[in-house]
A and B are shown apart, each in its own frame.
Chain A
Amino acid sequence: MRSWSKSLIGGVAVALAVAGCAGSGGDTGGDNAQSGPRELTVWLMNGSAPETLTNALHQEFQAAHPGVTVKYEVQQWNGIQDKLTTALASNDAPDVIEIGNTQSPKFAQQRVLLDISADTASFNKDQWLSGLEGSATWDGKQYAVPFYAANRVVLYRKDMFEQAGVTAEPTNRAEWLAAIEKLKAKFGSDKDFQALYLPGQNWYSLLSFIWDEGGDIATQDGTTFKAALDSPQAKAGLEFYKELVEASGTKAPKDADEQTPEQAGIYGGGKVAMIIGLPWEVATAAKSDPKITELTGAFPIPGKAGPAPVFQGGSNLAIPANSKDQDLAKEYIKLISSAKYQSEFAKAGMIPGTSTDLSALEAGGPASAAMAKSSTNGKGVPATPGWATIEAGQNPLKDMLTAYLTGAKSIDQATADANAVLNEAFAG
């Protein structure tokens, strides 16, 4: 009976927590600027701003605003949406938060973020990153500021390319497929060899192919979005994904994404010539085999002619509507979006959100340089509140890929089904 009563208490605790959420809210923050010592609570995410940057930034900020202490807290990505929901609803909301770009429209639409349309000029608006800007906007108003982003590149083994006689990095689809054929001809006798490791649910890569064909996930009209995966262009992108899977002879599971199992670990195993991944996956691969860093080169994801557009994943900065010190929060964002601190992001291997100066990134090794090259052609997912639901729940693009690649559904059926799920999510 003991464990029964335990689970009972557990259940009560959960129910209480839910009840607590339901009861809270009420008075909103407002701008009652206090005198005397003040505290600015800043939440940034794990793996976001390097410590050297935040240390220098907070020192400068506190020096410029006497009596203000920055309470800096690093949050974990895992479960952040629930934590933000709770925090934004509380009376003790943080003053500056970092939110994933795909989550931003949801928070903006629910009016839990401060409208900063009037202040964008002081946040370097003319240099904002195209892939993020859409996600920071809702219904013509600005609710967030681009912070930093990254996009995927093709990471490849220079030594294998050389041995297989691939002399130049592929710049279009035909060259890419030709390189795969050469690699297979050279190493195909090893049955563990894969010219390209491409799991069935790498939907970020699919987006590149769809955009390259001129298609998109959805069409936008004001705040209304309509799924467009059944367009001929989107289908062509999906077909190229299948062509790539078949041509490369990848043994990756068709029903999993690039994280299960982690593709960097498989690349580090030394039997894979290419993966489509983020620049820092090289470091992950190097954990299996330190030599891999030396041997890895990178090029932008090839399109039909020249580099394909890429999905830019990243973060925005926003001020919760419940923040007690909104003016100070704006000052903080102004400082962090300045060129001085943005260049620190480029140095750390990320694409700065409010600065077009990519020189530090171009100098940061082959993977970063390749990322910088395709970063000017970055795009985002539909900037609709429904998108957060899709990523936190069951992603129809992943289901579509698996169903089409395994032959469970025809291309028309798979795209029509995914379209229906997307439209339902967009409708809220």
Chain B
Amino acid sequence: MMAPALVFLVALLGWPALQVVFISFRELNLGELVRGEVIWTGFDNYVEVLSDPEFWTITLRTVVFTTGVVAATVLLGLGLAVLMRHLSRGVRMALQISLVLAWATPIIATTTVFQWMFDQQYGILNKTLVLLGFESYSGHSWFSTGASTLTVIGLLVCWQAVPFVAFTLYAGLLGASKDLYEAASIDGATGWQAFRAVSWPALRPVLAIVVFLSVLWDFKVFTQVWAIRQGGPDGQSTTLPVLLYLKGISGSGFGVAAAVAVLMLIVLVLVTWRYMRLLVRSQETEL
């Protein structure tokens, strides 16, 4: 019974993944691609990537960026989920509809709106800050340093990711029965104690999955980073996916790009190792 499904999985997942690994050991530029030449170069691509000090800076930057965005997303999502639990029906509906709308807006459309908001000369943010009395923000450039640029990008990614996290966690919260909260309040539990004793156990497995997924998504986010400043200024907001694009698509160095892809996968596995084990274990205990 499992055979057809397995064949499909191997064909659709295994083979392309294997191809990427193979390509990372080949010299494959535009010319080789067009002429269909296969040139094996061993670990040359890896040596080239790993010996570039820039690669390590970018890796560190990507990990820090991912951590920050995931933490902000999950905390905000958790806050909203708890809030939804306590809101009256009408207000909750309004909140949920706005969340869905934020989620449904195409990435590039949102990115463009953010670019307008943060525009140096005509952006509503600078204008508002000046109106509020912060004169120094007149003509302030939010994209003059890598840290500032990545913060804006982080905000943007976070804004788009929060709805999914909030809804998923809210669903987890609904799993804790109202009776439990009632019992807790009869025992004299404070709001915080009720959260620790009742909500938290219901949330934990969902939270683990949400964090895991967020790490995957935020680690490989490309569109927003590229659209805002192409990894600038001066390459200071370049993350690993942008590096992959620069090597592979801009530079037509598919072999080197594949090596970057494999290295990205390794970093990702290292970062999520604990969560993967946790996921596997929690599934075992549930069964």
* A394 contact from B13, B29, B36, B238, Cβ within 8 A: B238
Cβ-neighbour of A253 out of B34, B37, B120 (below 8 A):
B120
Chain B, range 204-240, C-beta contacts under 8 Å to A: 213, 217, 229-235, 238
Shortest distance between the CB of B266 and any CB in chain A (Å): 17
- From B57-65, B86-94, B136-144, B190-198, the one touching the partner chain is B136-144
CA distance A256 to B37 in the complex (A): 41
Given A112-B30, A253-B121, A322-B34, A260 contacting B249 (CB threshold 8 A): no
Contacts of B229 in A (CB 8 A): 255
Q: Which of A11-19, A48-56, A158-166, A351-359 contacts B (4 or more CB under 8 A)?
A: A11-19
B75 interface hit (Cβ, 8 Å): no
Q: How far is the CA of A322 from the CA of B115 in the complex (A)?
A: 42
- Closest CB in chain A relative to B162 CB, distance in Å: 14
Does B121 lie within 8 Å of A89, measured CB to CB? Answer: no
Known A-B contacts A19-B16, A22-B33, A25-B36; A394 and B139 likewise in contact (beta carbons under 8 Å)? no
A230: CB under 8 A from chain B?
Answer: no
Q: Is the pair B115, A16 in contact by a Cβ cutoff of 8 Å?
A: no
With A16-B12, A112-B30, A393-B251 in contact, is A255–B143 under 8 Å at CB?
yes
Q: Is the CB of A12 within 8 A of B12?
A: yes
- The answer to whether residues A19 and B15 also contact, given A25-B35, A88-B34, A255-B144 and a CB cut-off of 8 A, is yes
Inter-chain contact A393/B121, CB cutoff 8 Å: no
**How many A-B contacts if CB must be within 8 Å?**
118
User: Is the CB–CB distance between A18 and B251 below 8 Å?
Assistant: no
Given the known A-B contacts A19-B19, A25-B35, are A392 and B249 also in contact in the complex, defined by CB atoms under 8 Å? yes
Q: Which A5-52 residues have C-beta < 8 A from chain B?
A: 7-8, 12, 15-16, 18-19, 21-26, 28
Give the nearest-CB partner of B122 in chain A: A261
Which residues on A sit within 8 Å (CB–CB) of B31?
Answer: 109-112
B-side contacts of A12, CB under 8 Å: 12-13, 16
B173 close to chain A: CB less than 8 A: no
Check if B44 is an interface residue, CB within 8 A of chain A. Answer: no
Across-interface contacts of B233 in A (CB, < 8 A): 255, 399, 402-403
Which among B34, B121, B139, B252 has the highest number of chain A CB atoms within 10 Å?
Answer: B34
Decide: A254 near B141, CB < 8 A? Known: A15-B16, A106-B252: yes
Number of interface residues of A (CB under 8 A): 49
Let me know if A89 and B246 touch, CB within 8 A. Answer: no
B28 within 8 A of A: yes
**B283 within 8 A of partner (CB):** no
- CB pair B141–A321 under 8 Å, yes or no, is no
CA distance A154 to B36 in the complex (A): 47
| Complex-state Cα separation, A23 to B254, whole angstroms | 13
Give Cα distance in the complex from A18 to B23, angstroms: 10
* C-alpha gap A26/B120 in the complex (Å): 51
How far, in Å, is B286 (CB) from chain A's closest CB? 14
Judged by a CB distance under 8 angstroms, whether B285 is at the interface is no
Cα–Cα, bound, A260→B115 (Å): 9
Q: Flag if B246 contacts A251 (CB, 8 Å).
A: no
When the two chains form their complex, are residues B34 and A321 in contact, meaning their CB atoms are under 8 A apart?
Answer: yes
A252 located at the interface, meaning its Cβ lies under 8 Å from any Cβ of chain B in the complex? yes
Closest Cβ neighbor of A322 among chain B residues: B34
| B95 part of interface (Cβ distance < 8 Å) | no
Nearest CB in chain A to that of B236: its residue: A399
Is B16 within 8 A of A85, CB to CB?
Answer: no
Instruction: Output the least CB separation between A81 and chain B (Å).
Output: 8
Check B35 against A252 for contact (C-beta < 8 Å). no
Judge whether A221 is part of the interface by a CB distance below 8 angstroms. Answer: no
Which residues from chain A contact B231 at a C-beta distance below 8 Å? 394
* Nearest CB on A from B258, distance (A): 8
Known: A15-B17, A18-B16, A22-B19. A255 touches B232 (CB 8 A): yes
The residue in chain B whose Cβ has the minimal distance to the Cβ of A403 is B234
Contacts of B139 in A (CB 8 A): 251
Chain B proximity mask over A215-258: 1 for CB below 8 Å, otherwise 0: 00000000000000000000000000000000000011111100
Interchain nearest-CB distance for B21 vs A (Å): 11
A424 CB, nearest partner CB in chain B, Å:
10
A406 within 8 A of B: yes
B246 to A394, Cβ gap below 8 A?
yes
The reply to whether A24 and B36 contact each other, CB–CB distance below 8 Å, is yes
Q: Which residues of A contact B23 (CB under 8 A)?
A: 18, 22
- Whether A389 pairs with B234 at a CB distance below 8 angstroms is no
Cα A398 to Cα B245 with chains together (Å)? 19
Contact B20 A402 (CB under 8 A): no
Q: Which residues of B contact A24 (CB under 8 A)?
A: 36
Compute how far the CA of A18 lies from the CA of B254 in the bound complex, rounded to whole angstroms. Answer: 10
Query: Would you call A25 and B12 a contact (CB within 8 A)?
Result: no
Report yes or no: A110 in contact with B34, Cβ–Cβ below 8 A. Answer: yes
Chain B minimum-CB-distance residue to A402: B233
A28 touches B35 (CB 8 A): yes
Q: How far is the CB of A223 from chain B (nearest CB, A)?
A: 14
Q: A252-B121, A261-B122, A399-B234 in contact; A85/B246 too (CB < 8 A)?
A: no
CA distance A63 to B34 in the complex (A): 34
What's the minimum C-beta distance from B246 to chain A, rounded to whole angstroms? Answer: 5
Instruction: Return chain B residues, CB-CB under 8 Å to A109.
Output: 31
Interfacial chain A residues near B159, Cβ < 8 Å: none
Closest to B235 in A: A394
A contact residues vs B (CB 8 Å cutoff): 3-4, 7-8, 12, 15-16, 18-19, 21-26, 28, 81-82, 85, 88-89, 106-107, 109-112, 251-256, 260-261, 321-322, 388-389, 392-394, 398-399, 402-403, 406, 408, 417
- 18 pairs, A vs B, C-beta closer than 8 Å: A4-B213, A12-B12, A12-B13, A15-B13, A15-B19, A21-B33, A107-B30, A109-B31, A251-B139, A255-B229, A255-B232, A389-B251, A394-B230, A394-B231, A399-B235, A403-B234, A406-B141, A408-B144
Leading 5 A-B pairs by shortest Cβ distance: A25-B36, A15-B16, A110-B31, A393-B250, A392-B250
